[in-house]
Protein backbone atom coordinates (compact mmCIF):
# COMPACT_ATOMS: atom_id res chain seq x y z
CA UNK A 1 0.00 0.00 0.00
CA UNK A 2 1.14 3.57 -0.56
CA UNK A 3 -0.07 7.00 -1.48
CA UNK A 4 -3.12 6.96 -3.70
CA UNK A 5 -3.61 10.73 -3.98
CA UNK A 6 -3.45 12.58 -7.31
CA UNK A 7 -0.11 13.23 -9.03
CA UNK A 8 1.07 16.76 -9.86
CA UNK A 9 0.51 17.67 -13.50
CA UNK A 10 3.76 19.62 -13.89
CA UNK A 11 6.99 20.18 -11.95
CA UNK A 12 6.03 23.81 -11.25
CA UNK A 13 2.54 23.00 -10.00
CA UNK A 14 2.37 23.08 -6.20
CA UNK A 15 -0.50 21.52 -4.25
CA UNK A 16 -2.64 23.84 -2.13
CA UNK A 17 -1.68 24.06 1.52
CA UNK A 18 -4.09 21.95 3.52
CA UNK A 19 -4.88 23.22 7.01
CA UNK A 20 -7.22 20.32 7.83
CA UNK A 21 -5.81 16.94 8.76
CA UNK A 22 -8.08 13.89 8.61
CA UNK A 23 -6.75 11.00 10.67
CA UNK A 24 -8.19 7.52 10.21
CA UNK A 25 -7.78 4.49 12.43
CA UNK A 26 -8.92 1.51 10.35
CA UNK A 27 -9.56 -1.31 12.80
CA UNK A 28 -11.00 -4.78 12.51
CA UNK A 29 -14.60 -3.77 13.24
CA UNK A 30 -14.75 0.01 12.93
CA UNK A 31 -13.30 2.95 11.09
CA UNK A 32 -12.64 5.87 13.45
CA UNK A 33 -11.96 9.30 11.98
CA UNK A 34 -10.76 12.53 13.56
CA UNK A 35 -10.41 16.06 12.23
CA UNK A 36 -7.46 18.18 13.33
CA UNK A 37 -6.24 21.68 12.67
CA UNK A 38 -3.02 20.61 10.97
CA UNK A 39 -1.16 23.69 12.17
CA UNK A 40 -2.12 23.06 15.82
CA UNK A 41 -1.08 19.39 16.01
CA UNK A 42 2.29 19.96 17.74
CA UNK A 43 0.66 22.15 20.41
CA UNK A 44 -2.56 20.24 21.07
CA UNK A 45 -2.67 16.77 19.59
CA UNK A 46 -6.38 16.19 20.14
CA UNK A 47 -9.06 15.88 17.44
CA UNK A 48 -11.53 18.71 17.03
CA UNK A 49 -14.18 16.26 15.86
CA UNK A 50 -14.47 12.49 15.99
CA UNK A 51 -16.82 10.03 14.32
CA UNK A 52 -16.96 6.27 13.85
CA UNK A 53 -18.31 3.93 11.19
CA UNK A 54 -18.93 0.21 11.53
CA UNK A 55 -16.98 -1.48 8.74
CA UNK A 56 -19.57 -4.13 7.87
CA UNK A 57 -22.76 -2.19 8.54
CA UNK A 58 -22.27 1.48 7.64
CA UNK A 59 -21.90 3.14 4.25
CA UNK A 60 -18.86 5.31 3.65
CA UNK A 61 -21.12 7.72 1.77
CA UNK A 62 -22.09 9.11 5.18
CA UNK A 63 -18.62 10.66 5.21
CA UNK A 64 -19.78 13.32 2.72
CA UNK A 65 -21.76 15.28 5.29
CA UNK A 66 -19.09 14.96 7.97
CA UNK A 67 -15.97 15.96 6.06
CA UNK A 68 -14.99 19.61 5.48
CA UNK A 69 -15.63 21.26 2.11
CA UNK A 70 -12.01 22.44 1.89
CA UNK A 71 -9.11 20.27 0.69
CA UNK A 72 -7.52 18.17 3.40
CA UNK A 73 -4.64 15.82 4.07
CA UNK A 74 -5.48 12.26 5.11
CA UNK A 75 -3.23 10.17 7.35
CA UNK A 76 -4.37 6.57 7.63
CA UNK A 77 -3.33 3.85 10.06
CA UNK A 78 -4.71 0.43 9.21
CA UNK A 79 -4.73 -3.10 10.61
CA UNK A 80 -7.45 -4.18 8.16
CA UNK A 81 -6.22 -4.23 4.55
CA UNK A 82 -9.57 -4.85 2.81
CA UNK A 83 -11.24 -2.06 4.78
CA UNK A 84 -8.41 0.36 4.01
CA UNK A 85 -8.60 -0.49 0.31
CA UNK A 86 -12.33 0.22 0.39
CA UNK A 87 -11.62 3.61 2.01
CA UNK A 88 -8.89 4.41 -0.54
CA UNK A 89 -11.29 3.65 -3.40
CA UNK A 90 -13.94 5.90 -1.83
CA UNK A 91 -11.38 8.66 -1.39
CA UNK A 92 -10.24 8.40 -5.01
CA UNK A 93 -13.82 8.56 -6.22
CA UNK A 94 -15.03 11.41 -4.00
CA UNK A 95 -12.04 13.34 -2.57
CA UNK A 96 -9.31 12.90 -5.17
CA UNK A 97 -8.02 16.45 -4.63
CA UNK A 98 -7.08 15.52 -1.07
CA UNK A 99 -3.66 14.09 -0.22
CA UNK A 100 -4.02 10.51 1.05
CA UNK A 101 -1.17 8.77 2.84
CA UNK A 102 -1.15 5.33 4.47
CA UNK A 103 1.33 5.45 7.34
CA UNK A 104 4.04 2.81 7.53
CA UNK A 105 6.44 1.69 10.23
CA UNK A 106 9.15 3.82 8.63
CA UNK A 107 7.09 6.93 9.46
CA UNK A 108 6.95 6.24 13.21
CA UNK A 109 9.14 8.71 15.18
CA UNK A 110 9.79 6.20 17.93
CA UNK A 111 12.42 3.52 18.43
CA UNK A 112 10.77 0.11 18.05
CA UNK A 113 12.94 -2.20 20.12
CA UNK A 114 11.77 -5.50 18.62
CA UNK A 115 13.21 -8.11 16.27
CA UNK A 116 10.39 -7.55 13.74
CA UNK A 117 9.17 -3.97 14.10
CA UNK A 118 7.36 -4.25 10.76
CA UNK A 119 4.97 -6.82 12.27
CA UNK A 120 3.60 -4.52 14.97
CA UNK A 121 0.11 -3.11 14.37
CA UNK A 122 0.19 0.54 13.37
CA UNK A 123 -2.59 1.31 15.85
CA UNK A 124 -0.38 0.11 18.69
CA UNK A 125 2.51 2.25 17.48
CA UNK A 126 0.31 5.33 17.00
CA UNK A 127 -0.97 5.00 20.57
CA UNK A 128 2.62 4.61 21.77
CA UNK A 129 3.73 7.77 19.96
CA UNK A 130 0.96 9.79 21.63
CA UNK A 131 1.58 8.21 25.03
CA UNK A 132 5.28 8.99 24.73
CA UNK A 133 4.46 12.71 24.62
CA UNK A 134 2.49 12.64 27.90
CA UNK A 135 4.53 10.27 30.06
CA UNK A 136 6.45 11.78 32.93
CA UNK A 137 10.17 12.31 32.43
CA UNK A 138 12.28 9.25 33.21
CA UNK A 139 9.21 7.02 33.58
CA UNK A 140 7.96 4.24 31.37
CA UNK A 141 4.33 4.28 30.30
CA UNK A 142 1.92 1.39 29.81
CA UNK A 143 -0.84 1.77 27.22
CA UNK A 144 -4.04 -0.27 27.51
CA UNK A 145 -6.01 0.03 24.26
CA UNK A 146 -9.40 -1.65 24.64
CA UNK A 147 -11.29 -2.28 21.42
CA UNK A 148 -12.13 -5.37 19.37
CA UNK A 149 -8.89 -6.72 20.76
CA UNK A 150 -7.15 -5.39 23.86
CA UNK A 151 -3.48 -4.51 23.70
CA UNK A 152 -1.26 -3.76 26.67
CA UNK A 153 2.01 -2.20 25.53
CA UNK A 154 4.92 -0.45 27.20
CA UNK A 155 7.15 2.44 26.16
CA UNK A 156 10.40 2.64 28.11
CA UNK A 157 11.63 5.58 30.18
CA UNK A 158 13.94 6.41 27.26
CA UNK A 159 11.09 6.47 24.74
CA UNK A 160 11.41 3.05 23.06
CA UNK A 161 8.48 0.80 22.20
CA UNK A 162 9.18 -2.53 23.93
CA UNK A 163 6.14 -4.57 22.86
CA UNK A 164 3.36 -5.97 25.02
CA UNK A 165 0.43 -8.36 25.13
CA UNK A 166 -2.71 -8.90 23.04
CA UNK A 167 -5.93 -10.48 24.28
CA UNK A 168 -9.52 -10.64 23.03
CA UNK A 169 -11.73 -7.66 23.72
CA UNK A 170 -14.96 -8.13 25.67
CA UNK A 171 -17.19 -8.17 22.58
CA UNK A 172 -14.91 -10.55 20.69
CA UNK A 173 -14.76 -12.93 23.65
CA UNK A 174 -18.55 -12.82 24.04
CA UNK A 175 -19.05 -13.69 20.38
CA UNK A 176 -16.56 -16.55 20.62
CA UNK A 177 -18.39 -18.05 23.61
CA UNK A 178 -21.70 -17.95 21.72
CA UNK A 179 -20.62 -19.04 18.25
CA UNK A 180 -18.09 -21.66 19.35
CA UNK A 181 -20.49 -23.47 21.70
CA UNK A 182 -23.87 -25.15 21.36
CA UNK A 183 -25.92 -23.57 24.14
CA UNK A 184 -24.19 -20.48 25.54
CA UNK A 185 -26.29 -17.36 24.82
CA UNK A 186 -25.30 -14.26 22.88
CA UNK A 187 -25.10 -11.84 25.80
CA UNK A 188 -24.18 -8.93 23.50
CA UNK A 189 -27.33 -8.95 21.38
CA UNK A 190 -29.93 -7.30 23.62
CA UNK A 191 -27.85 -5.81 26.41
CA UNK A 192 -24.13 -5.36 25.62
CA UNK A 193 -21.75 -6.26 28.41
CA UNK A 194 -20.18 -2.79 28.32
CA UNK A 195 -22.32 0.27 27.77
CA UNK A 196 -21.10 3.85 28.05
CA UNK A 197 -21.47 7.27 26.49
CA UNK A 198 -18.90 7.91 23.77
CA UNK A 199 -16.69 10.83 24.73
CA UNK A 200 -13.16 12.06 24.19
CA UNK A 201 -10.73 14.35 25.93
CA UNK A 202 -7.61 16.13 24.68
CA UNK A 203 -4.22 14.82 25.60
CA UNK A 204 -3.28 16.16 29.01
CA UNK A 205 -6.88 16.96 29.96
CA UNK A 206 -8.50 16.03 33.24
CA UNK A 207 -9.25 12.36 33.74
CA UNK A 208 -12.40 11.11 32.07
CA UNK A 209 -14.89 9.93 34.67
CA UNK A 210 -17.40 7.14 34.27
CA UNK A 211 -20.58 8.31 32.58
CA UNK A 212 -23.82 8.04 34.49
CA UNK A 213 -25.62 5.82 31.97
CA UNK A 214 -23.52 2.65 32.09
CA UNK A 215 -24.59 -0.62 33.62
CA UNK A 216 -23.24 -1.48 37.03
CA UNK A 217 -20.46 -4.08 36.89
CA UNK A 218 -21.87 -7.61 37.07
CA UNK A 219 -21.61 -9.59 40.32
CA UNK A 220 -18.57 -11.85 40.45
CA UNK A 221 -20.79 -14.85 41.24
CA UNK A 222 -23.32 -15.03 38.42
CA UNK A 223 -26.55 -16.79 39.36
CA UNK A 224 -27.53 -17.62 35.79
CA UNK A 225 -25.64 -18.64 32.68
CA UNK A 226 -26.01 -15.13 31.28
CA UNK A 227 -24.73 -13.56 34.50
CA UNK A 228 -21.86 -16.03 34.75
CA UNK A 229 -20.73 -15.14 31.22
CA UNK A 230 -20.91 -11.43 32.03
CA UNK A 231 -18.86 -11.96 35.18
CA UNK A 232 -16.21 -13.90 33.31
CA UNK A 233 -16.00 -11.38 30.49
CA UNK A 234 -15.74 -8.30 32.71
CA UNK A 235 -13.85 -9.52 35.76
CA UNK A 236 -11.66 -11.93 33.78
CA UNK A 237 -10.60 -9.03 31.56
CA UNK A 238 -10.07 -6.72 34.54
CA UNK A 239 -7.97 -9.37 36.29
CA UNK A 240 -5.87 -9.93 33.19
CA UNK A 241 -5.23 -6.20 32.79
CA UNK A 242 -4.26 -5.75 36.43
CA UNK A 243 -1.84 -8.67 36.20
CA UNK A 244 -0.25 -7.49 32.96
CA UNK A 245 0.21 -3.94 34.26
CA UNK A 246 1.76 -5.28 37.46
CA UNK A 247 4.12 -7.64 35.65
CA UNK A 248 5.23 -5.05 33.08
CA UNK A 249 6.11 -2.66 35.90
CA UNK A 250 8.31 -5.16 37.73
CA UNK A 251 11.98 -4.33 37.79
CA UNK A 252 11.50 -0.69 36.76
CA UNK A 253 13.16 2.00 38.86
CA UNK A 254 10.01 4.16 38.88
CA UNK A 255 6.38 3.04 38.85
CA UNK A 256 5.25 3.42 35.22
CA UNK A 257 2.48 5.73 34.14
CA UNK A 258 -0.63 3.95 32.78
CA UNK A 259 -3.06 5.30 30.18
CA UNK A 260 -6.22 3.74 28.80
CA UNK A 261 -7.43 4.18 25.23
CA UNK A 262 -10.02 2.71 22.87
CA UNK A 263 -13.76 2.31 22.74
CA UNK A 264 -14.11 0.15 25.85
CA UNK A 265 -11.62 2.12 27.94
CA UNK A 266 -14.11 4.32 29.77
CA UNK A 267 -15.66 1.54 31.81
CA UNK A 268 -12.83 -0.96 32.03
CA UNK A 269 -10.29 1.62 33.20
CA UNK A 270 -12.28 2.51 36.30
CA UNK A 271 -12.47 -1.17 37.26
CA UNK A 272 -8.71 -1.64 36.86
CA UNK A 273 -7.49 1.52 38.61
CA UNK A 274 -8.97 3.91 41.15
CA UNK A 275 -8.07 7.07 39.20
CA UNK A 276 -7.42 6.05 35.59
CA UNK A 277 -6.04 8.37 32.94
CA UNK A 278 -8.35 7.72 29.98
CA UNK A 279 -7.84 9.01 26.44
CA UNK A 280 -10.27 7.27 24.05
CA UNK A 281 -8.74 9.05 21.02
CA UNK A 282 -5.10 8.29 21.80
CA UNK A 283 -4.60 6.43 18.51
CA UNK A 284 -5.99 9.32 16.43
CA UNK A 285 -3.72 11.72 18.31
CA UNK A 286 -0.74 9.48 17.59
CA UNK A 287 -1.61 9.33 13.89
CA UNK A 288 -1.68 13.13 13.80
CA UNK A 289 1.70 13.36 15.52
CA UNK A 290 3.23 10.78 13.16
CA UNK A 291 1.92 12.64 10.11
CA UNK A 292 3.17 15.97 11.44
CA UNK A 293 6.67 14.53 11.95
CA UNK A 294 6.59 12.81 8.55
CA UNK A 295 5.83 16.11 6.82
CA UNK A 296 8.60 17.87 8.72
CA UNK A 297 11.06 15.15 7.73
CA UNK A 298 10.05 14.68 4.09
CA UNK A 299 8.71 18.12 3.30
CA UNK A 300 5.74 16.54 1.51
pLDDT value for 36: 92
CA torsion sign, 121 to 289 to 132 to 270?
negative
| Spatial distance between the Cα atoms of 194 and 264, rounded to a whole number of angstroms | 7
Classify each residue of 249-263 as buried b or exposed e, where b means 16 or more C-beta atoms within 10 Å of its C-beta.
eeeeeeebbbbbbbb
Domain ranges in the chain are 20-105, 109-285
Question: Could you check whether 20-105 and 109-285 share the same CATH topology?
Answer: yes
Q: CA nearest 271: which of 154, 146, 168, 132?
A: 146
Give the pLDDT confidence of 86-138 residue by residue, as tens digits.
999 999 999 999 999 999 999 999 999 999 999 999 999 999 999 999 999 99
Which pTM does this prediction carry?
Answer: 0.84
pLDDT value for 108: 96
The pLDDT of residue 85 is above 50: yes
The pLDDT of residue 266 is above 80: no
- With cut-offs at 50, 70 and 90, classify the pLDDT of residue 45: low
The percentage of residues in the chain with a pLDDT greater than 70, rounded to a whole number, is: 85
- With cut-offs at 50, 70 and 90, classify the pLDDT of residue 202: very low
Residue 32 contacts residue 291 (beta carbons within 8 Å): no
Average pLDDT taken over every residue of the chain = 85
pLDDT value for 147: 86
Q: What is the mean pLDDT of residues 33-40?
A: 87
What's the fold here for domain 109-285? Answer: Nucleotidyltransferase; domain 5 (3.30.420)
Give the pLDDT confidence of 10-29 residue by residue, as tens digits.
233 334 446 899 999 999 88
Say if strands 277-278 and 257-261 run parallel, antiparallel, or are unpaired: parallel
Least confident of 192-201, 203-212, 226-235, 266-275: 203-212
Name the CATH superfamily for 20-105. ATPase, nucleotide binding domain (3.30.420.40)
The percentage of residues in the chain with a pLDDT greater than 90, rounded to a whole number, is: 63
Q: What is the mean pLDDT of residues 149-170?
A: 96
| Spatial distance between the Cα atoms of 125 and 283, rounded to a whole number of angstroms | 8
pLDDT value for 43: 60
Amino acid sequence: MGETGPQLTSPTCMPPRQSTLITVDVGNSSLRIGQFDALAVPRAAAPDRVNEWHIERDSLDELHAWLPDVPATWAVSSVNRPAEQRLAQWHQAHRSSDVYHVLSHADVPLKIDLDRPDRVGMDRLAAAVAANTIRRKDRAIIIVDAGSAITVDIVSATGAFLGGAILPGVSMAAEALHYRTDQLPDVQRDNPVLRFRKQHAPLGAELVKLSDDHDSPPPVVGQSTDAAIRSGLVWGTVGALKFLIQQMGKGLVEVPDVVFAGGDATLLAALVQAAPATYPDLVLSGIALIEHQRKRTTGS
